[in-house]
Amino acid sequence: MFCSRCGEEQKKQKNSVCPNCGNNVFTPYKLKGLNWKKPKESDRKFEDITFYPNIKVNPEHEAEKWFYVFNGERYGPVSRLELLHLYNAERVFLSTKVWKSGMSDWADIGQTDLIDRSIVPPPLKGEDINNTLVWIMAFTPILGTLLEFILSGAIGVASGSLWFITPILNAILGVIDQIKLKRAGHNTKEMLLWALFIIPVYLFRRAHILKQKSAYAIVWCITFAILIFAPTLISGIIGIADPSAVDMVKEGTMNSYPDKTISQMVDNYFLNPKWKAIVADDNNTYVNVIGEITYLGDDTKVLIQYKLINDSSFEFYALEFNGVPQDMTTYIALMNSMYAE
């Protein structure tokens, strides 16, 4: 039996891993009746790699067999020429671990004689890279939430429906920063997925690669935690209400009318109801619902205002008909009519 990758004969009949290249192999007792033939040399060519005719190898190095690490697995053997083509195709990098016969241990490509470092400028140091963009990224949890609040208020929807704004903002800034690092000479291929989907990991990895302090990554985590655990605090500081307050009131019920949510009562009674959360001068959050009803035979514009007590409760605060304040008796009569509808 022979390894399907390197062609090494598997002398032990129960090998599960090729001792030469680390490839997973099947043994005859697992797959009986298969014809295990040594693969042809052409089967191990890199068909998806562009070969550069200008790359030459000294005759004294043509017989070398190299192994390299990719995604935590060992690959090879490959010739020096094939490894150089992989490097030019950005499949391996200066930081990729390689080994050949005669080396005591694995080493980075940049530490071997594979690449002529005299004609390849080193990556820029962390102190030479501008961090303005990455510090903007550190505050994207707050910036994204601000955009969600502003847009939700402008188009009259709850901020929860615009949750995707912050991840998209994070991803855009992360990809732009990743491109800048690549142009600075750093290997950022493995960081692209982090930049797209998990920004804190990207920020910590960036700080590690550039040998910088992780301050911007820590700031991102802190601002994210604040928005998760204290959204009303942020609302008071920035003077913009958390639109999720609208959802809380809409899905809430009054003690006197436990069978219907306020949203159900409003939708069944008001014409074209519109909801909005605001932070008043007293730093309290209020939820307004505005719509039209027929009152005493006339079309009447109604505003009902609720005041948030905390993150899970609220109370009636004000009622207006055509801009004229109404008393509690009128509110109770209106709610009774809405409940009975």
How many Å separate Cα 265 from the centre of its chain?
39
- Torsion sign over Cα 3, 8, 12, 15: negative
Quote the tokens at residue 156. 């009259």
Is residue 68 a contact partner of residue 76, using CB atoms and an 8 Å limit?
yes
Q: Transcribe 164-203 into DSSP letters.
A: THHHHHHHHHHHHHHHHHHHTT---GGGHHHHHH-HHHHH
Residues of the chain with pLDDT under 50: 5-6, 21, 26-47
Tell me the chain's radius of gyration from C-alpha atoms: 33
Residues β-bridged to residue 67: 99
pLDDT (0 to 100) of residue 115: 76
pLDDT (0 to 100) of residue 322: 93
* CA gap 280, 127 in Å, rounded: 45
Count of C-beta atoms within a 10 Å radius of residue 155: 9
DSSP 260: S
* CA gap 83, 15 in Å, rounded: 27
Instruction: Name the CATH superfamily for 52-119.
Output: GYF domain (3.30.1490.40)
Helix (H, G, I), strand (E, B), or coil: what is residue 89? coil
Question: Between vectors from CA 116 to CA 110 and to CA 122, what angle results, nearest 5°?
Answer: 55
At 155-213, the pLDDT tens digits run 766 656 788 888 999 999 999 999 999 888 887 877 888 888 899 999 999 999 899 99
pLDDT (0 to 100) of residue 160: 66
Report yes or no on whether pTM surpasses 0.75.
no
Counting Cα atoms < 13 Å in the Cβ hemisphere of 18 gives 21
pLDDT (0 to 100) of residue 219: 96
* CA gap 56, 75 in Å, rounded: 22
Q: What are the residue ranges spanned by the domains of the chain?
A: 1-44, 52-119, 126-229, 244-340
Count of C-beta atoms within a 10 Å radius of residue 6: 20
